[in-house]
Amino acid sequence: MEGDILDTLEQLGYDGPLLEEKLLLEASERGLSSLQYVQLCTWLTSRLKLLCDLEENLQSSPDDTDSLQVEMSGLMKELNCPFEDVTSWVHKDGVRTSKDHLKLILFLSSELQAAQIVRSKQDDKKQHNKSSAQTDLDLMCDALNVKGDDAAQVLAQVQNKVEQLLKDLPGASVGEAVLKKPLTSEQWEKLLSINQALSSEYECRRRMLIKRLDVTVQSFGWSDRAKVKVDSMARVYQPRRHSLKPQSTVDMADLLAAREDICNVVKTSSGSSREKTTCAVNKVLMGRVPDRGGRPEEIQAPPPEMPPWQKRQDGGGSWGGRGRGGWRQGGGGWGQGTHQGWNNKHGDHGGHGGKRTRYHY
């Protein structure tokens, strides 16, 4: 449980002393009597209050344990905490354990995470309602320092500003656009569907690479020396890990901004590239090394495990150790089956009477 709590607190942006597992367990032993434990609960509650408009709050000091219990009990009831042992801070008899205090921190941090996700989705929905064209236009006006209310006037100012900036640039600074012909609405729709298909494919690949990265980093902590530094490793890795997004950011604007130089793909092993990447290591020649084989055409086939089958000759050995010739037992017993070793001419199927003829195979 404490591992989940530390990961959650780190993701929430908590940078207090209880990010250390030992200090967290010590504070959980004391509960509301610990100043650091109360400060962590207050930190989580204050952020929940901003996102959820809570009425209850933690305001008492650790010295006033009774008031803290009353405030905590009211807060848990307002948040509809499903854990009865955590909710009934006042009415429960006996001494609380460290597990109860850890469960309280885990509940508050989980509620804060959920509140942040809900608020983020609400903000994204509001942002989505605003047209992407308007957003791009606002960003362009901010970059060019252009202001105005009328759309036609703003576009004219943007065009003049861009033409002026292009004149001030050195020659050939901006190449020719790759897309030189205007496209119809149907062509734009096809391009959009193609881009969506490619984005879905690249997102799947990026998720696979990120998962492989997570597994690789996790394997670094298997050694005995690394087990004591798991928190330090997570503190360094987690911020970089959360910055990796699986979604692709390429859209139609990148197509319009693409220039002709994007079509000039030069291999890293080409002569022009190797002129700038060559180094002294590339000129070191290796000596003779042992032959590692690996050529199937030079390998001889292994000898057969059994000699080839040959047709049995007449006059071979008989039953009882006088050669390998003899009688065969068919699928239905002696004298029966597909291949009969004995042929009973007098109707005795498999018995001992009658005249029998021996066959060789």
Count Cβ atoms within 10 A of the Cβ of residue 24 and give its class: 0-12 exposed, 13-18 middle, 19 or more buried: buried
The boundaries of the domain holding residue 75 are 2-129
333 and 234 part of one domain? no
106 and 218 part of one domain? no
**Which pLDDT does position 223 carry in this prediction?**
86
Report the phi/psi class of residue 343: left, alpha or beta, with left for phi > 0 and alpha for psi in -120 to 50: beta
25 and 116 part of one domain? yes
**Which pLDDT does position 264 carry in this prediction?**
75
Q: Per the domain annotation, does 136 fall within a domain?
A: no
**Token couple for 27:** 């504070």
**Which pLDDT does position 270 carry in this prediction?**
78
Own/partner contacts of 55-58, CB < 8 Å, gap of 24 or more, are: none
**Which pLDDT does position 343 carry in this prediction?**
43
Q: Per the domain annotation, does 208 fall within a domain?
A: yes
38 and 105 part of one domain? yes
Q: Per the domain annotation, does 351 fall within a domain?
A: yes
**Which pLDDT does position 321 carry in this prediction?**
45
Q: Per the domain annotation, does 149 fall within a domain?
A: no
Interatomic CA distance for residues 77 and 84, integer angstroms:
10
Q: Per the domain annotation, does 264 fall within a domain?
A: yes
105 and 47 part of one domain? yes
Q: Per the domain annotation, does 115 fall within a domain?
A: yes
Q: What angle do CA 133, 174, 278 make, to 5 degrees?
A: 120
Rg (CA), the chain: 41
22 and 122 part of one domain? yes
32 and 109 part of one domain? yes
Q: How many domains does the chain have?
A: 3
Which residue, 96, 129, 162, sits at the end of a domain? Answer: 129
**Which pLDDT does position 101 carry in this prediction?**
82
Q: Per the domain annotation, does 196 fall within a domain?
A: yes
Which residue, 98, 129, 160, sits at the end of a domain? Answer: 129
Q: Per the domain annotation, does 157 fall within a domain?
A: no
Per-residue pLDDT of the chain (361 residues; tens, 9 = 90+): 777 888 888 888 888 888 888 888 888 888 777 888 888 888 888 888 888 877 777 776 767 777 777 777 777 777 777 766 665 554 455 456 778 788 888 888 888 888 888 888 777 766 665 566 677 778 888 888 888 777 788 888 888 888 888 888 777 677 788 888 888 999 999 999 999 999 999 999 999 999 999 999 989 888 888 888 888 888 899 889 988 989 888 888 888 888 887 777 777 777 777 887 888 888 888 888 888 777 878 877 777 777 667 777 776 554 544 444 444 444 444 444 444 444 444 444 444 444 444 444 4
117 and 181 part of one domain? no
Interatomic CA distance for residues 54 and 71, integer angstroms:
12
**Token couple for 80:** 């509809």
59 and 124 part of one domain? yes
210 and 123 part of one domain? no
Number of helices (H) and strands (E), helices first, in the chain? Answer: 13, 2
